[in-house]
Each structure stands twice: as structure tokens, then as C-alpha cells.
Amino acid sequence: SQQGEEDPQALSIQEGENATMNCSYKTSINNLQWYRQNSGRGLVHLILIRSNEREKHSGRLRVTLDTSKKSSSLLITASRAADTASYFCATDHPDTGANSKLTFGKGITLSVRP
Amino acid sequence: KAGVTQTPRYLIKTRGQQVTLSCSPISGHRSVSWYQQTPGQGLQFLFEYFSETQRNKGNFPGRFSGRQFSNSRSEMNVSTLELGDSALYLCASSWTGLSYEQYFGPGTRLTVT
């Protein structure tokens, strides 16, 4: 079953603007990761935030995690046309026997207009 | 360092046939996981292998199987192909498992006719 649910499903912005994407999940997590995918290619890891962290930065990316609301947001600042892609959140959930499963949301399509 | 490689990149098969996909992880990575991506269901976890053992499995029928070799290379097999198996199959590797950054290959596009 789908755990991570991204919002909005699609986002269109002008180059230079900020893009904010949200992800919600249902059960407790070990960590939450964000990935980018260009045109049906492989996914590229953007950032990982652990359940005991609240905020993380990487270049133009800022990720927040609110475990009480079971939600995360990804902010891309000063967007560029090259940021046009699909973005996925992936949640790592503890399972019985301390193994984990990685569950992806359906993704957000971001279009950045030049 | 070379990235994750998957072969073949494209494949066309007929219903009822079987197919084997291959994945070579990044050197030193011991965890290899497989995902199926379709427009309708999105990205779904198939299974994860670590040190030649299947450690996690998603909710797929037994027609989907995999294995990992001693050099960490992995294969997945789908038997008795159905039209619904048409998808992009992605392989990812990481140092120790799903709780860490996953490095994805370019995928194998499987079309079942």
C-alpha cells in the first residue's frame, strides 16, 4: 500500500521562483528520502532526513520533517529549468524483525518555465 | 566509480514468456533492491537482497523472483509474463540497506505484447 502521498500532484512555476512540495505518510518511519526522476529514467537521490531530525539543507534544497503530523516538505529555492522533473518521497518503515521497507509516493511533476 | 548498471535497457516479450533482468551495483554496495514503476501504480518495491539473501519482499506474486550473487550482482526473473507486467524495472544499490541513500540504475523498460 502507498505510504508517502505527495502534494500537489503537479506544480508549474517560473524560473527563479521557489517550489514547495509536501509528503504525508501514515505509520512511523526510520527516515524519509526525496528523489528526482527525469523523463522515465532512474531516480537520483536528493536528500535523506532521519526521524530524529527536523530540518536539513543541501544546496538549494531544504527539507523539513514533522513526525507529529507525519509530513515532510521539500523546498527548492531559485528554481531553474533543469529542475523540471518528477519528485518522489520515499519512507523507510520499520517492519517486524527490524527489517525495513522503502515505500514511494506517486510523485509530483514539477515544471519550471524559462 | 561506475554507477549502477542494468541490462538490457529495453525488452519486448510475449505473454506467457519469461524474462531475466540483470543489475550490477556500485562496487562495494551489498544491498540491491528492485522496483516496478508503472503509470497506474507508481513505484512499487519488489524485493531487497543483501549478501545473497532476500531480506525484504513486497506484495508481488510468486512469478517475480530474484537472486543475488557473491559479487553482489543481482538478477530478477518474471515467469509467465502478463500484459500488466509491462513497466520500467529499476534496480538500486546501497551500502547496507533501505535505510540509506539508494543509487538507482537507468532501468529496464519491459513491454509485454
pLDDT, tens digit (0-9, with 9 covering 90-100), for B9-38? 999 999 999 999 999 999 999 999 999 999
Cβ burial A14-24 (10 Å sphere, 16+ → b, else e): eeeeebebebb
pLDDT of residue A38: 93
Integer Cα distance of A102 and B100 in angstroms: 10
Between B88, B97, B103, which is nearest A100 by CB?
B97
Any B CB within 8 A of A42 CB: yes
Residue A52 reports pLDDT greater than 90: yes
Cα–Cα distance for residue pair A42/A36, rounded to 1 Å: 9
Q: Which residue of A has its CA nearest to B9?
A: A41
CB-based contact (8 Å) between B45 and chain A? yes
CB contact under 8 A, B100 and A48: yes
| Number of neighbours of residue A30 by Cβ within 10 angstroms | 16
pLDDT for position A95: 63
How far is residue A29's CA from residue B59's CA, in Å, rounded to a whole number? 19
Contact (CB, 8 A) for B65 and B77: yes
The pLDDT tens digits for B55-95 are 888 889 999 999 999 999 999 999 999 999 999 999 999 98
Nearest-CB residue to A92 (from B4, B98, B109): B98
**Looking at A43-52, A95-104, B22-31, B41-50, which range is the least confident one?**
A95-104
- Considering only alpha carbons, which residue of chain B is nearest residue A41? B106
The answer to whether the CB of A79 falls within 8 A of the CB of A18 is yes
| pLDDT of A1 | 45
